[in-house]
Amino acid sequence: MRPSDLLSVAETYGAPVYVYDSAKITSQFERLTRAFSSVPSLKLNYAVKALSNLSVLRLMNSLGSGLDTVSIQEVKLGLMAGFKPEDIIFTPNGVSLEEIEEAAALGVKINIDNLSFLEQFGSAHPDIPVCIRINPHVMAGGNNNISVGHIDSKFGISIHQIPHILRIVELTKMKVNGIHMHTGSDILDIDVFLYASEILFDTAKHFKGLDFIDFGSGFKVPYKEGDIETNIEELGQKLSTRFNEFCKSYGRELTLAFEPGKFLVSEAGYFLAKVNVVKQTTSTVFAGVDSGFNHLIRPMFYGSSHEIINISNPEGKERFYSVVGYICETDTFGNNRRIPEISEGDILCFKNAGAYCFTMASNYNSRYRPAEVLWHEGKAILIRKREDFDDLIRNQIDVDDLFKAPSRKPAVK
Ligand SMILES: Cc1ncc(COP(=O)(O)O)c(C=O)c1O
């Protein structure tokens, strides 16, 4: 999207606002599909947690995507957006058995990641096939919060517990239709991915009735020009070859599944916020925006570095700014960034704001969550209204008859 398009969205819908470019989502979906075109059966299950707006889910459905979900609510959103149950996989961690059973009753694919539930679910529902999430014990991912396949991680069933899994399967007579792993987000080195895939192939050999192998996700996207990214084309070529070989030795064609979040939506998203104040201190020039980590928590949560541009003055002379939010705690979007000269009232644009941005937004400091706009075929379409005061108090129960304000005596002079 051009800065002028983004500015026109801010003028029409106000700021702060999230904007998603449908053309970028589509081209990323097509790029990933192309990279694995030599695999006869490929299934991309978009990870809903990255960005769960219904209109974005409808776009994914129109592209032929499936969905990866982690809560019963995400399953329901997917169904509401028109996905067929069989195109949704439920991959929760730490949820109750009742929630898994509720998802199974809706007909979606089930992915189980602990031995206790595998045994209980298999005993109660031996006819409902399940996928098993393996922990390959591989350290991968951009930082500790998003590395989830290592030995100390709470995710998946250890590869060292395969004999135990096999005993449960044999005793319960349950069916295993898939094997899954997800080692983390922001994986730079495709060799790490390929190494973990070999572990998955070794595991898959133990299960005779598989329909698919799910390699999770974790593709690293660039955050600025020249940034490192996962070489999808190279990964596609190498993993497809190995996958096709594996299927031959396995004896039948399986589906290769992925569940990308960031890869599909990160670069398609822009977050626009208005500059409230430019404040010069002895050492720093702060640009304080009409937003904070309540709207975009990733920089404060795990140090993500979102590129920030000034779309009100894109050609201006660059100066150094620290861009901060209005929350009364450290609330820094970026330190000492070179940005075209900023004036109060300018609109700043935070890039890579499609994944894990709106979905992590909160009402902290009793602020409204922003609007969301889809940029589609040259038009801005509002896909979520900005919240208002009614939204803030919607579920509160005001016990106004419980507490009385003391009657105040007039002050004596
Ligand atoms: C099980 C699972 N699959 C897929 C994803 C999506 O990962 P990414 O956004 O890096 O593609 C995640 C992210 O946390 C995940 O936990």
- Please give the sequence-ordered ranges of beta strands (E in DSSP) within 313-370, or none if there are none: 318-324, 332-340, 347-350
CA dihedral 143, 306, 375, 348 (to 10 degrees): 160
pLDDT of residue 139: 58
Residues 6+ apart with CB under 8 A from 302: 143, 145, 146
The CATH class for the domain spanning 269-387 reads mainly beta
Distance (Å, whole) CA 34 – CA 38: 8
* Residue 262 Cα to ligand 1 middle (Å): 8
pLDDT tens per residue across span 316-330:
999 999 999 999 999
Distance (Å, whole) CA 103 – CA 5: 41
Q: Which residues line ligand 1 (CB under 6 A)?
A: 47, 50, 68, 91, 182, 185, 216-219, 259-263, 355
Residue 403: count of CB within 10 angstroms of its CB: 6
The CATH homologous superfamily to which domain 22-264 belongs is Alanine racemase (3.20.20.10)
Beta-bridge partner residues of 379: 376
pLDDT of residue 151: 66
pTM of the predicted model, to two decimals? 0.94
pLDDT tens per residue across span 50-69:
999 999 999 999 999 999 99
* Catalytic residue IDs: 328
Task: Report phi then psi at 332, rounded to 5.
Answer: -110, 125
329 is in an annotated binding site: yes
pLDDT tens per residue across span 331-381:
999 999 999 999 999 999 999 999 999 999 999 999 999 999 999 999 999
pLDDT of residue 279: 97
Same fold? 22-264, 269-387? no
302 is in an annotated binding site: yes
DSSP alpha helix (H) spans, 155-258: 162-172, 190-204, 232-250
Output the average pLDDT for the chain: 94
Among the atoms of ligand 1, which is closest to the Cα of residue 355?
9
110 alpha-carbon distance from chain centroid = 19
pLDDT of residue 413: 65
Q: Which of 51-65, 135-149, 239-253 has the lowest mean pLDDT?
A: 135-149
Query: What would the mean pLDDT of 101-116 be, rounded to a whole number?
Result: 97
How many angstroms separate the Cα of 313 from the Cα of each of 15, 186, 288, 337? 16, 32, 16, 15
Q: Structural domain boundaries of the chain?
A: 22-264, 269-387
3-class SS at 255? Answer: strand
Examine the pLDDT at 123 and tell me if it is beyond 70: yes
pLDDT of residue 136: 87
Query: What would the mean pLDDT of 158-178 be, rounded to a whole number?
Result: 96
298 is in an annotated binding site: yes
Query: What would the mean pLDDT of 382-388 be, rounded to a whole number?
Result: 98
